[in-house]
Amino acid sequence: MTATRSRGARLAAALCTLVVSLTVAVAPAGAAPASQAPGPLPKAPITDFKPGNIITDAVMYDANSMTRSEIASFIASTGSSCRATSGNTCLKDYRETTPTRPATSLCPRPYAGASNETSAAIIAKVGVACGINPQVLLVTLQKEQGLVTSTTGKPPRTYSRALGFGCPDNSGGVCDPQYAGFANQVYSAARQLKRYAAYPTSYAHRANAWNHVRYHPNTACGSSPVYIENQATASMYNYTPYQPNRAALAAGTGTGDSCSSYGNRNFHHFFKAWFGSPTGNRPPEGVLESVTPAGTGSVRVVGWAFDRDTTSTIPVHVYVDGARVTSLTASGSRPDVARIHGREAVGFSGTVGVAPGDHHVCVFAANRPTGADELLGCEDVAVTSGRTYFLNDSWSGAANRVFPFGVESDRVYVGDWDGSRTDTLAVRRGNTYYFSNRLRAGEADTVIRYGRSDDATLVGDWNRDGRDTLAVRRGPVYYFSNRLAGGEAETVVQYGRPEDAVLVGDWNGDGTDTLAVRRGHVYYFSNRLAGGEAERVVAYGRPDDAVLVGDWNGDGKDTIAVRRGTTYYINDTLAGGEASRVVTYGRATDTALAGDWDGNGADTLGVRRPAR
């Protein structure tokens, strides 16, 4: 299956350009540090930083954006080059025994303490407990202390102030000991972000209002008015109360001027590089789990999808061979997905009608509220139409032509529709007939309407032109057409009784097909398309035999064969007695066919097999 590019692949690509940024200045008391000195990062100017919308509420509070294993994988891959020097520890190797914390109004889920927890486990559990996106915590760890991309690890003192919480500028960088420790820092910072949202009027920076946001701790550097568009951005400024000035943005991820601060700039940079835009429309998530044949000319698609930018269910669009054919709603219950991603009503499944043959099926999840749809995956599938044909050019037991054609409910007919001396197939749906001039799957070559939907249909070469056409029977009356077209019949004949079983064949080898009727095991053959007495009467087989007609030996004359289960008794003459040959072919549940499949003048067997 062709699937979306994995999060891990996107992250690994992004990291090729990233190195460490370090904290050198901190925020006022009660908040986290403010300005961070940049590391030696690429210096392309940053042009998409919006001071009024650093991060959306949907992103900030998406506690299920990453699983514990995804966080661990991210830390390991991002810090893969980290080799701890003496006294240091890499983030991927960090362990800490954590205390249990009860649920609170700010962190509404309890945190279950554990012995020797990894950094990934701590980040994941805090995100769930407090309802904060673990990606926000990871980026904050990076912008504050450079922990994520450090190549030499960090000492215990750095881990004790990992997110800079409670480390105010006006105390000379001395952190409040009650917030010391890695797990304590992660939990306290997440809780503080929730506190900003719970008590928005208690803090300097407020959402949906104009705010004067400073450029630097030095008040001489000034400020500018910023309309803060959402609570998440207000919380970012309450945590790190400075915006980058023009010099900081022009420097890209390098050094600006003496009035530059870098905390919120670097947050924007790292978040975008690692996880996509913190303000843009995030792509939907999901998986196309399977595309399978579903019986009669259809396929079934199964998977799950959701969009973190909305709490509503989303549609998924199904494409077959590049064309959109239907949409499904991803709303089915998926507890397995909920355990990992925190969303349960995300499942989709549905059946899509397709023509017989090989198909390329793709499913896209609709992006909400706007944006390009996200490819969930593609799979190739072979649809056997509800019927598969096994045709044999010889009298062996194995078919040498196998292909699907039509659908389960079709009635199938055999004839030489184009005068090529090779028999091919047609299927009937009501009074519509689909003729194929080739023994393969695919579209019909000719489609016509003829007769009524309840007519009995016959096939034969009624005018000796080398092409088979149709006739319909209504009781003992037959309506013959010499063209593969609708319209009036050329010949109307009454023959036999309404309850007779009817056969068609060239009984005398003159090139014209005529009728025979069967009553029990007695057959009445006529060599004219006319009423009257039969020219020949033959008893053959048993009353309950299934009967086929064909020119079995290539002498130009049709005779009969009878079928009992998978055994066929072939007679090369219109006479009673022993069969000329006895063959076994196919399965008892197959529909038996006869035709000249290779144009050699002799008819052989074929079968039509149900899909199930």
pLDDT, tens digit, 9 for 90 and up, residues 557-580: 999 999 999 999 999 999 988 999
Does position 612 have pLDDT exceeding 70, yes or no?
A: no
Selection from 564, 561, 565, 566 nearest residue 548 by Cα = 561
29: amino acid identity, one letter: A
Confidence of residue 544 (pLDDT cuts 50, 70, 90): confident
Q: What six digits make up the tokens of 470?
A: 């149709």
Using an 8 Å Cβ cutoff, are 391 and 398 in contact?
Answer: no
β pairing state of 432-435 and 446-449 = antiparallel
pLDDT value at position 358? 72
Q: What six digits make up the tokens of 108?
A: 């509404």
**Topology (CATH) of 285-383:** Immunoglobulin-like (2.60.40)
Please, is 488 exposed, middle or buried when counting C-beta atoms within 10 Å of its C-beta (0-12, 13-18, 19+)? exposed
| Residue 134 phi, psi dihedral angles, 5° rounding | -60, -25
d(CA 299, CA 532): 52
pLDDT, tens digit, 9 for 90 and up, residues 104-140: 999 999 999 999 999 999 999 999 999 999 999 999 9
Confidence of residue 22 (pLDDT cuts 50, 70, 90): very low
Q: What ranges do the domains of the chain cover? A: 20-275, 285-383, 387-610
For residue 498, say if its preceding peptide bond is cis, omega within 30 degrees of 0. no
Confidence of residue 41 (pLDDT cuts 50, 70, 90): very low
Distances (CA, A) of 536 to 464, 498, 539, 574, 582: 21, 20, 10, 9, 24
d(CA 440, CA 64): 51
Distance of CA 355 to the CA centre of its chain: 19
Share of the chain above pLDDT 90, in %: 70
Give the bridge partners for 546, in sequence order.
Answer: 563
Confidence of residue 295 (pLDDT cuts 50, 70, 90): low
Does position 421 have pLDDT exceeding 90, yes or no?
A: yes
pLDDT value at position 461? 97
- pTM across the whole model: 0.52
pLDDT, tens digit, 9 for 90 and up, residues 225-241: 999 999 999 999 999 99
- Residue at token pair 């074929």: 606
Q: Which residue has the higher pLDDT, 407 or 495?
A: 495
For 322, other C-beta atoms within 10 Å of its C-beta total: 7
pLDDT, tens digit, 9 for 90 and up, residues 74-109: 999 999 999 999 999 999 999 999 999 999 999 999
pLDDT, tens digit, 9 for 90 and up, residues 254-270: 999 999 999 999 999 99
pLDDT, tens digit, 9 for 90 and up, residues 167-191: 765 445 578 888 999 999 999 999 9
Does position 297 have pLDDT exceeding 70, yes or no?
A: no
pLDDT, tens digit, 9 for 90 and up, residues 523-543: 999 999 998 899 999 999 998
Q: What six digits make up the tokens of 462?
A: 């009624």
Selection from 144, 236, 228, 151 nearest residue 186 by Cα = 144
**Average pLDDT of the segment spanning 534-554:** 93
How many Cα atoms are found within 13 Å in the side-chain-facing hemisphere of 471?
28
- Work out the mean pLDDT of the chain and round it to a whole number: 88
pLDDT value at position 5? 30
